[in-house]
Each structure stands twice: as C-alpha cells, then as structure tokens.
Amino acid sequence: MLIGQDLMRADGPAKVTGAARYVDDVRPTDCLYGFTVRSPWAHARIDGIELDPAFDWTDITVCTAADIPGENVVALMTDDQPVLADGVVRHVAEPVALVAGPDRDRALAAVQHVKVAYTPLTPLMDPEQAAGSEHRIFRDDNVFSRISVEHGEALRVLEEADTIITGTYRVGLQEQLYIEPQGMIALPREDGGLTLFGSMQCPYYIVKALKRVLGHDRLNVVQAVTGGGFGGKEEYPSIVAAHAAVLALKSGRPVKLIYRRDDDLRATTKRHPAIMHYRVAVERATGRLQAAHVKLLFDGGAYNTLSPVVNSRAVLHALGPYACPHVKVDGLMVATNTPPNGAFRGFGAPQVMFAAERHMDRIARELGKSPLEVRRLNLYRDGDVTPSGQRLVDVGATQVLELALKEAAAPLPPSGVPDRAGGGGVAARVAPGRGVAIAWHGCGFTGNGEAALKGQADVAIEGDRVVIYTASTDIGQGTDTIFPAIVAEVLGISVDRVSNADHDTATVPDSGPTVASRTAMVVGGVVKQGAERLLEALKAEVGSDDADFDALLARRKSTAPLRVRAQYRDDLGLEWDAATYRGDAYPTYGWACVVVDVDVDLDTGEVLYRRLVSATDVGKALNPVLCTGQLEGGALQGLGYATCEEVVLDDQGGMRNNRLTNYIIPTALDAPEMVTALVEIPFSGGPFGAKGIGEIPHDVPAAAVAQAIEAACGAVLERLPMTPERVLAALPEI
C-alpha cells in the first residue's frame, strides 16, 4: 500500500540541492528585464504619459494600454480590470505602463523617467460608505457581490427572543507572503505566439486571460517550480503574464518580469478585510443557539477579481461548526479605491470563523458559562442541517475536539519567556492561557462547481513508465508526489515508474485551478479514475483480463504511448441551487480543532506561543508527512494572522509597511511547537477517502489565540491582528 505512506517528495532532491529551477533561475538568451510603472494615486485621471527626453531610450521598450494587441482586460469573473490603466486609475499601485531593458538597472532607471501626468480625484476608501455611493467604481452600486443564505425564520425568532447576544468583529488585510515573489517570463515563439513560463497556481487561468489580451490563442503556459502561492498565485499571475507578454510582443525578445518584494507587497492581492456583525438568540439556561442573523461586509478593493466567490464561502461558513435552527446570513462585498483583494488560503472562511468563534466566547461570557461547554452543546452532529439546508453526515466535530483536548493534556514544552532580569531590566510578568477553537471547512468548489468545471486528467503508458498529465500545479503542497502514489497504487507498480508531465498547457488538459482544497480530493479522484481507465484500455488492447499491470504490459506489441483521459464525474448526487443558495453547498466538510497555549507578557502585550495542538479530520492522509506539513504551515499562517501580520495603509490605500522588515510573519522562534493529530473519517467521493486539507488549518488559530489571551489576562480582543498595542489597550487594570 503506497497510500498512507510517507513517500519522499518527488521534487525533494532537486529542492535540497539547489537544482530546482524557479522562474528567476532561468535566463533566456537576449532576455529583457521588465518592470511596472504604477499609480501613486488611489483615484486619478491620466492626462498623459510622456517619456523624459533627457533619458536615453534606445534599448528600452515601453508599453502603455495602446500597445495591447487584443482587449485591455484581465479576464476572470467580470471584465472590469484592465491590463494597463487607460485614462483613469482606480487604486494605488495600479499598472499604468511597462518598461523593459537589457538589464535590471537600466530598466529600473527607465521606470523613473516615464512621466505620467495625473489629475487626482477624490477616492472612495471606506467600505461602509461604498454600497450605493454616488462615487462609482464598479457598475452602478459598487457591489461586487450580495449573497444571502437563509434557513428557518431567523428574523422572526430574533424578534421574539429574550436573550440576544450581539457582537461586531473586525479583521484586517493579510498578505500571502509566498517567499518567492511573483514572476513570469514571456518567450516569443516561432509561430508568432508566446510561451509563458513562471510562478503560478493555475496555468489555464493565464491561457484564458491571455487569449483576450493577445487576440489569438497561439500560446502555452508552463509552470516553473513555484515558491509558494497560498492563493496569491491563483489569479494575480494572469496580470504578470499579460504584462510580460505585451512587452515581449513589442520588443520581439524574451521578457522576464520578476517583482521586487516591495512591489509585490504594494501591488498584489491580499486577504479581504471584513466587518462582521453577529446577532444570536440563545437559550439562557443552556447557551443553545436558537437563531442568528449575521451581516458581513467585505472590502474587495477596486476590481472584482474573485471576490464574489470569497463572499460566497464566507456566507456559507459564517456560523462556524454549530447547529442553529434559524439562520440568516447576509454577505456584502463592495468596491473601494484600494488595491484589489483576492484569493488567500481559506477564502473568506478565516475571517468569518474568527468572528463566529469569538461570538461563541461572547455567548459563554455573557451567560457565565465556559467557552468549551457552549461549544460542546452546539457543535454539529450527524443529521444536523446547515444554513443552506444541507443535511450533514459523518460529522467529525466532536471527535476532533476531544482528540485535540486529549493531546493537549500532555505537559507543555518549556516556556520561551525571555529572562529580562538577566539583562538588568525587570523580570517579565507573564500570564499563561489556553484557547480552544473549532473549524469546519467545505472541501472543493461550492455547490455544482465541479460538475460545471469537469476537470480532466490524462494518464499514459510511455515505454515502461506511466505519465500523469494534469494542470494541477505543485506549489509546495506535494501534488507531484501524491498523484504518482495514487496511480501506482491503482496499477500495482512501483511509484518510481510514475511521474508527472510538466504542467504545460500545450500538453496537459484543464484539470481546473489549484485552489479550494480541491487538488488531492477532486483532481486526485480524476487521476485515480484515469489510472483505472488506463488499466482497462491496456486490457482491451492486449485482449487479456489479467489484473497484473506488468503482465499486461509484457503482452503489449505497440510501443506507442497509450494515453487515456478521465473527467470529473458527478456521482455524488449533490443538489444545489445557486440562485437561492439552498442545497448541498459542498461535497463534504473537513473538521478541525486547535488548542493553543500562550503566555501573555503583561508589560508589553506580546503573545508568546507555547504550543499549538491541532486535530483535523482529513478523510484519509494520502501521505501523512505532506498532510501534516500542510496543517502545520497553515496553522502558523493563522497565528501570524492572529497577532503579528498587519497591513498598514497610507491615505491613498498604499501599503506603508511593504517590506519584510515591517510586515512581520512568524519566525522559527515565534512559532510554537506543534502537535498535529489526524482523524480519518473517509469521504466516499475522494480518492481512498481523502478530503481537502489545504485551507482548514488557517481557519481558527486566530480565534483560539483570542480565547487564550482572554483566559490569560482578561483582555477581550475582537479585532485582528491582536498586536501588542491592542492587547495592552484591552488589558483590564491589574
């Protein structure tokens, strides 16, 4: 059995020896280096773009909107975002022009000499003022998305309820902070087309976008080894690719466009900030939820990107993993003149689950109960019905809670509290605290998304090897290791004989994007089906019913590749109505519990992490090392979201702390020791029972930390991040 084994990563040897080739490691002959001229204004009219006559432009290529051969649009959900601003800019850092030169220094110098004349206009910066404002950014109402989900009669029950608990929770922007910045190379092809090679999650998104930009489809997109994505390389690389492509077409040369970190932080998408209002009626004696009305407001920034889908996931997850008979959730996603927000691990769920879990704590506080007691009482159980009306089966909520608590009963590792006394100062005054939070996360696309998408994968015999063709990229999560294990398992051969073809759209089918915790669960299932079909095709070809792959292969006369295609089959019988948001919102759900132990420094407000225990229902861990690696990495991003990652904006909406010096992500010293326990409740629709696991670890660490801080010192924080300043401000007088 290969499934469930810790097979070593297929890309491991190349990654530990420095041999792995990321986009910036590749330098085509005669390559130009591209950079982007960006708007300094949140909103302005472009009056003209001129090239400084004092600068030597002989070896520099400059592109503006006028140089785009096809349509000036980044095709995604709607066609609102231009490749290059034309006449008006709607957010700071919006691309206005492009330059490319023979080396980085020359090209960077040229950026300074592209003179753009602007007339600044009054921007709309406040999401609470956006909907219906006279100031139009998107369509006629600045609303990217308005979604309501309703079950029962929440408003009526709230009207008649005697105990209603209300709370408002706020979360800020969060940067994905893949360690490899965005980057793309555009290479002119002999047929007049282009090859795009770069750092990305979704090759076919780029194909879709560039067909419109180029006005033809003579292009292929190839994924380079990619240094992290976390959603940040879901849709944004289409923009980088379009820019590199336009420069390459105009110059006739290969163009490499690598973002510097400061540019990447200022310009690229982030997690949506949100303001979330909860009104929940409870049974006073017990804390049982009776009715809830949740209003969510998200700031999408200046362009739509994928914001409606973020709103959708947020609305569906808004109450957390708790049963409530009457629910109404209203999600509103608006436009402002700020850089567009987009995909980031969890996709709306971490925002609402921070709020939902904090609201459970508030209910417990106001009723004089323990947070755990209120959770245990209300947690989903088999047969419970979600706000969209989906009847749940195989609910793992209680199981992950009890397992995490059991693991957390072990003694804590030594405290990492610095001994300030030794330095001549005062000894740190710290207070220990523990927090427990629980998540659910719908795996894969919402509703009938997979049935509509019909993701494909090919599996082929090539000589005595088997090759898998998918567009599902490995961005560190281990796809290129998992898929061969699935195929080798089905065929009964050594995994060494199975490999992935390069993720090149010239040769791989569209498997759908590498997002939404869907790759192992959904595309892995298609790959498994492909391996089964390959075995059948081989049997048919050699006219034998032998089950042994190598025996069949030995009888094969042809040496030509034998390649079969598999496509997502909707055998789950899901029923979903996207118009009413009723039905089976997700094919299955993951469940997770986080127990975090902290020390709160009562003098500085710093939160020091002692240990993070998690228990997660993963369906089936296809490769436990890779699986727990995802869970641990996601958990630490969640802790960063909790206490240290803050995007500070200036009055134009530009990121002031756009450097790693002051946008702080956790280091190895900040990170706690982690205990990562797995629960395996198999999902019948996933390969070998696997569920999606990529996003759920990010959902509730922040809520657990907030509860731990409150347990430690009584400070109640309802806004992320919980920086030392905010913790100090919330500290009760001691």
Which residues are within 8 A (CB) of 486 and not within 5 positions of it... i.e. 6 or more apart? 3, 524, 527, 528, 531, 622, 687, 688
E-state strands within 189-308: 194-198, 219-223, 255-258, 274-282, 289-299
Give yes or no for residue 19 binding another protein (CB under 8 A): yes
Give yes or no for residue 230 binding another protein (CB under 8 A): yes
Is 253 in contact with 48 (CB distance < 8 Å)? no
Which residues are within 8 A (CB) of 543 and not within 5 positions of it... i.e. 6 or more apart? none
Give yes or no for residue 88 binding another protein (CB under 8 A): no
**Among residues 161, 360, 564, 674, which is the contact residue for another protein, using CB under 8 A?**
674
- Site stretch for another protein (CB under 8 A), options 11-19, 321-329, 489-497, 725-733: 11-19
How far is it, in rounded angstroms, from Cα 101 to Cα 33?
A: 5
* 353, two tokens: 């689950």
How far is it, in rounded angstroms, from Cα 282 to Cα 279?
A: 10
Q: Which C-beta is closer to another protein: that of 228 or that of 389?
A: 228
Give yes or no for residue 632 binding another protein (CB under 8 A): yes
Count of residues in the chain:
734
Give yes or no for residue 551 binding another protein (CB under 8 A): no
- Site stretch for another protein (CB under 8 A), options 24-32, 115-123, 154-162, 267-275: 24-32
Three-state secondary-structure class, residue 272: coil
**Site pattern 196..225 for another protein (x: CB under 8 A):** -----------------------------x
How far is it, in rounded angstroms, from Cα 681 to Cα 693?
A: 13
Give yes or no for residue 637 binding another protein (CB under 8 A): yes
Give yes or no for residue 656 binding another protein (CB under 8 A): no
Applying the rule CB under 8 A, the residues between 162 and 201 that interact with another protein are: 176-181
Per-residue H/E/C for 86-98: CCEECCCCCEEEE
Applying the rule CB under 8 A, the residues between 234 and 273 that interact with another protein are: 260-261
* 484, two tokens: 């061969």
Is 384 in contact with 322 (CB distance < 8 Å)? no
Is 96 in contact with 89 (CB distance < 8 Å)? yes
Give yes or no for residue 389 binding another protein (CB under 8 A): no
Applying the rule CB under 8 A, the residues between 416 and 455 that interact with another protein are: 416
- The site for another protein, by CB under 8 A, has a size of 60
Give yes or no for residue 304 binding another protein (CB under 8 A): no
* 54, two tokens: 């004092």
Give yes or no for residue 676 binding another protein (CB under 8 A): yes
Give yes or no for residue 9 binding another protein (CB under 8 A): yes
**Among residues 3, 11, 201, 248, which is the contact residue for another protein, using CB under 8 A?**
11
The phi, psi pair for 644, rounded to 5°, reads -125, -15
Residue with tokens 């409870």: 282
Give yes or no for residue 1 binding another protein (CB under 8 A): no
* Element housing 107 (H / E): helix 104-112
- Site stretch for another protein (CB under 8 A), options 81-89, 122-130, 164-172, 228-236: 228-236
Give yes or no for residue 661 binding another protein (CB under 8 A): yes
How far is it, in rounded angstroms, from Cα 672 to Cα 666?
A: 10
Q: How far is the CB of 465 from another protein (least distance, A)?
A: 22
Nearest to 315 by CA among 352, 346, 278, 344: 352
How far is it, in rounded angstroms, from Cα 402 to Cα 412?
A: 18
The residue type of 46 is: I
- Site stretch for another protein (CB under 8 A), options 35-43, 92-100, 314-322, 476-484: 476-484
Q: How far is the CB of 17 from another protein (least distance, A)?
A: 7
**Among residues 82, 228, 339, 587, which is the contact residue for another protein, using CB under 8 A?**
228
* 572, two tokens: 């789950």
Q: Which C-beta is closer to another protein: that of 104 or that of 288?
A: 104
132 CB neighbour count, 10 Å cutoff: 10
**Site pattern 502..541 for another protein (x: CB under 8 A):** ----------------------------------------
The binding site for another protein (CB under 8 A) comprises 6, 8-9, 11-22, 24-25, 27, 176-181, 225-230, 260-261, 413-414, 416, 475-478, 625-626, 628-629, 632-637, 659-661, 665, 667-669, 671, 673-674, 676
